[in-house]
Amino acid sequence: MALEPAITDMEQLKSRAEVAALLAWNASAVTEAKLDRDQLIVWLDRTALRDACLVLKNDPQLQYNALADVTCVDWYPREPRFEVVYQLFSTTKKKYLRLKVRLSGVDANIDSLTPIWPGANFFEREVFDLFGVRFDEHPNLVRIMMPEDWEGHPLRKDYPVEGYR
Amino acid sequence: MAHMTPTPVLDPSQDQTMVLNMGPQHPSTHGVLRLLLEVDGETIVRIMPDIGYLHTGIEKTCEAKFYQQVVPMTDRIDYLCPMTNNLAYCLAVEKLLGMEIPPRGQWLRVLLNELTRINSHLVWLGTHAMDIGAMTVFLYCFREREDVLRLFEAVSGQRMMTSYFRIGGVALEPPLGWFDRVKKFLARFPGNIDEYENLLTNNPIFVNRLKGVAYLSAEDAVALCATGPTLRASGVDVDLRRDLPYTGYENFQFKVPTSTVGDVYARYLVRVAELRESQKICTQALEGMPEGPSKADAPKVVLPDREKMKTQMEALIYHFKIVTEGFTVPEGEVYMPIESPRGEMGYYVVSDGTAKPYRVHMRSPSFANLQSLRTMCEGRLIADVVAAIGSIDIVLGDCDR
C-alpha cells in the first residue's frame, strides 16, 4: 500500500459533509483542511472552536456527539507554536474528526469545551499542565500530572527531555 | 498531584461535612489513586480524584527515541494489556508508513490481543470481586491468568512487558507446540468462566452490593467521555473492533455485549460476556491461522531474521542501519484508536520526517473513565465507592502515563 498524497485543496474537500457543514455555518472560521491517510483534519479559528463543535454535535447528518481526546503539539520555535488537537467521535455514525486550533506562544488561551462535554475537564487540565495552554471558563484549571509547585511545562519543546539540572 | 487540596463547599459554620482521604495507598483503589471524599456522615457529597502519582513522562521520553525504541515504552503504560498498547502504537506508525502486514501477522496479533483482553479482564474480575469480599474468585482468576502469562512468556520471553508486536509485524514466530498449548487453554476456559459465574452472578451478597449502585446514564457516559465496557453497560453500543476494524478484525464473528442498566452489576455482566467472546475470537484465530510470513517485507523498517543477519551481508547492513540510525517516517500525523480491555486506547503520532517521533500522545481509557466516578458516586455511600472504582477497571499506569 503506497502512500497517497494528502489532499489540502478546499474545493475538493467540500465533498466531505464535515467540511461542507462548517463552511455553510461560517466560512471564515475554517482556515485550512486536509485529508491525510484517510483522516480528515480541519483547522479552525480560535474564536470559533466552541460554536463549531456545537454545529458538528447538533448536525443530524454528522452527530459528532462525543469528544475522544484533547491534546497539543508544540512546534517551537515556529510561530504560532501550539496546535491544540481535538478528536471528535460520533457514537452513532462511528466516525472520527480531528479539529485543530493554532495558538501563539504569547497568548496561548482558548475556550474550554467543558460546557459542551464535561469530560473535556481532565484532558484540558493535562494540556494546561504539560503545555501551559490556558482554557477559558474551565471549572478547575490546575495541574493534574505534575506536582502543584512544579515549574515549567514538560512537554514543551524548549523543555529538556531530562529536565533542568 | 497534591494540587486538589479540598476547598470547603459548605458554609463552615454549618460544619456538616468532613473530608476523608482515600489512598493513594489503599488496597481497593487499584494502584495509586487518591480520592478526596467530602462526606456527610456516610454519604458522599463530593468526590475529587487526585492522580499523577505514576506520571513518568512517557510521552516526553518517546520524543527522544527512535520509532522502534518506543515499543517497549508502550508496554509500561498499561501493564495489564501490554500487547494492546504495542498494537495501537505499531498500527499508528504502520499507517504513517503506509505499510501492510501479511495475514499471518494480523491473525497472530488478533489472537494475542484477545488473550491480553482475557488476561486483563481476569485481573479485573479477581480484584473487583475481592473488593466486594469474595476472596475465592481472586484465586481462581489468577490461576487462569497464570496460564495466559505462561503463553506470553513462551511467545515473547516475558510475562508482562512483552514488546512482542513490532512495527511491521511480530517479533518472532511462536515456538513449536505453542498453538497446541493455546488450544488446550481455550478448550478449558469456558468451564472456568462458568466457575466464576457460579460463584458470583447469582450470589445474593455480591448482587446486593452491585445492583443499582453507581448508575451512569447513556447521556452522562457520552458527555463524560466514558469508553469501553463502562460505556457499553450504559447502553451505548460502541466497539471499535467491530465499528472501525483494524488488524483484520473484520474477518472474525463476535457479539458486542451491551446492557442498558448502567450500574455496577451491568458492567460486571458485560465484561464477563466479553471474556466469552474473546475466547471465541481466539478459537477462530487459531482455526483460521493463515500460513506465510508474519512480518512485512520492508527490509528498511523490519529487522531481519537472526539467521539472515548472521549469513547475509545485505541483511547485516540493514540490521546495523535500523539499530543505529532508526528509519525515517514520512511527514504526517495519525490518530489510531483501538479497543483495549478498558475502552478506546488511542495513539496520536506526529512525524516530522525524521527517525524519531515528533510527538506521541496516548489517549488512555482509564484517564477518561475516571471522570465518570463523580457522577456515579455522589449521593451514595462510601462503601459504594469501592464497587464503583472496581467497575470502571482503572489502571493507574495507564491513567498517569
Distance from CA of A116 to the nearest CA of B (A): 8
Q: Domain map of chain B by residue range?
A: 58-303+331-368+380-400
Q: Which residues of chain A are under the pLDDT cut of 50?
A: none
Q: Is the pLDDT of residue B249 over 60?
A: yes
Contact A66 B222 (CB under 8 A): yes
Question: Tens digits of per-residue pLDDT, B366-392?
Answer: 998 988 888 888 888 888 888 888 888
Q: Cβ distance B222 to A118 under 8 Å?
A: no
Q: Domain map of chain A by residue range?
A: 27-136
The pTM of the full predicted model, rounded to 2 decimals, is 0.90
Distance from CA of A165 to the nearest CA of B (A): 16
DSSP-derived 3-state class of residue A99: strand
pLDDT at residue number B12? 53
Percent of chain A with pLDDT over 70: 97
Q: Cβ distance B327 to B300 under 8 Å?
A: yes
pLDDT at residue number A32? 86
Contact A145 B100 (CB under 8 A): no
Contact A3 B98 (CB under 8 A): yes
Pairing of strands A39-44, A66-74: unpaired
Q: Is the pLDDT of residue B187 over 90?
A: yes
Nearest to B363 among A69, A94, A147 (CB): A69
Instruction: Count residue pairs from A and B with Cβ separation < 8 A.
Output: 115
Dihedral sign computed on CA atoms, order B31, B36, B38, B39: positive
Segment B118-123 shows an average pLDDT of 92
Distance from CA of A137 to the nearest CA of B (A): 17
Distance from CA of A143 to the nearest CA of B (A): 7
Question: Tens digits of per-residue pLDDT, B4-18?
Answer: 444 445 455 566 788
Number of other CB atoms surrounding residue A31 within 10 Å? 14
Question: Tens digits of per-residue pLDDT, A93-105?
Answer: 888 999 999 998 8
At how many degrees (to 10) do helices B382-391 and B264-287 cross? 20
Distance from CA of A126 to the nearest CA of B (A): 10
Segment B212-219 shows an average pLDDT of 87
pLDDT at residue number B277? 92
CA nearest A72 in B: which residue?
B361
Whether B235 has its CB under 8 Å from any CB of chain A: the answer is: no
- Cell numbers for B262, please give them: 448502567
Whether A54 has its CB under 8 Å from any CB of chain B: the answer is: no
Q: Which architecture, in CATH terms, is A27-136?
A: 2-Layer Sandwich (3.30)
Most A CBs within 10 A among B53, B60, B101, hence the mutation to make, goes to B60
Contact A145 B63 (CB under 8 A): no
Segment B165-173 shows an average pLDDT of 88
Q: Is the pLDDT of residue B2 over 70?
A: no
Question: Tens digits of per-residue pLDDT, B13-56?
Answer: 566 788 888 878 777 777 788 888 888 888 888 888 888 888 88
Distance from CA of B379 to the nearest CA of A (A): 19
Most A CBs within 10 A among B69, B97, B359, B363, hence the mutation to make, goes to B359
pLDDT at residue number B390? 87
Contact A154 B3 (CB under 8 A): no
Contact A36 B333 (CB under 8 A): yes
Average predicted confidence (pLDDT) for chain A:
87
pLDDT at residue number B149? 92
Whether B51 has its CB under 8 Å from any CB of chain A: the answer is: yes
CA-to-CA separations, A67 to A63, B64, B178, B201, B347, in angstroms, rounded: 11, 29, 41, 34, 15
pLDDT at residue number A33? 86
Question: Tens digits of per-residue pLDDT, B268-291?
Answer: 999 999 999 999 999 999 998 888
Average predicted confidence (pLDDT) for chain B:
88
DSSP-derived 3-state class of residue B6: coil
Whether B188 has its CB under 8 Å from any CB of chain A: the answer is: no
Question: Tens digits of per-residue pLDDT, A26-35?
Answer: 888 888 888 8
Q: Cβ distance A79 to B238 under 8 Å?
A: no
Separation between Cα atoms, residue B391 and residue B373, nearest integer Å: 10
Whether B236 has its CB under 8 Å from any CB of chain A: the answer is: yes
Instruction: Enumerate the residues of chain B whose CB falls inside 8 A of the CB of residue A34.
Output: none
Instruction: Enumerate the residues of chain B whose CB falls inside 8 A of the CB of residue A146.
Output: 1, 52, 55
Reported CATH class of domain B58-303+331-368+380-400: mainly alpha
Contact A73 B359 (CB under 8 A): yes
Whether B130 has its CB under 8 Å from any CB of chain A: the answer is: no
Question: Tens digits of per-residue pLDDT, B314-373?
Answer: 999 999 999 998 888 998 899 999 999 998 999 999 999 889 999 999 999 999 898 888
Q: Cβ distance A112 to A135 under 8 Å?
A: yes
- Cell numbers for B201, please give them: 452472578
Whether B96 has its CB under 8 Å from any CB of chain A: the answer is: yes
* Residue given cell 491473525 in the structure block: B107
Whether A121 has its CB under 8 Å from any CB of chain B: the answer is: yes
CA nearest A95 in B: which residue?
B244
